[in-house]
Amino acid sequence: MFILVNLKAYPCDPIEVATAARDVAEASGTRIAVSPQAADVARVADTGVETWAQHVSPNAHGSHTGSTLAEAVADNGAAGTLVNHSENRLKLADIDGSVRAAERADLETIVCANNPAQVGAAAALGPDAVAVEPPELIGGDVSVSTADPGIVEDAVAAADAVDPAVDVFCGAGVSTGEDVAAAGELGASGILLASGVAKADDPRAALEDLVSGL
How far apart are alpha carbons 164 and 161 in whole angstroms? 7
Measured in residues, the chain has a length of: 214
Q: Which of 85, 108, 178, 185 is catalytic?
A: 85
Does the annotation mark 55 as catalytic?
Answer: no
Neighbours of 125 (CB within 10 A): 21
How far apart are alpha carbons 198 and 77 in whole angstroms? 20
Q: Which of 133, 136, 178, 185 is catalytic?
A: 133
Does the annotation mark 133 as catalytic?
Answer: yes
What does the DSSP assignment read for the chain? -EEEEE-TT-SS-HHHHHHHHHHHHHHHT-EEEEE--GGGHHHHHTTTSEEEES---S--SSS-TT---HHHHHHTT--EEEES-TTS---HHHHHHHHHHHHHTT-EEEEEESSHHHHHHHHTT--SEEEE--GGGTTSSS-HHHH-HHHHHHHHHHHHHH-TTSEEEEESS--SHHHHHHHHHTT-SEEEESHHHHT-SSHHHHHHHHTTT-
Q: Which residues are catalytic?
A: 85, 133
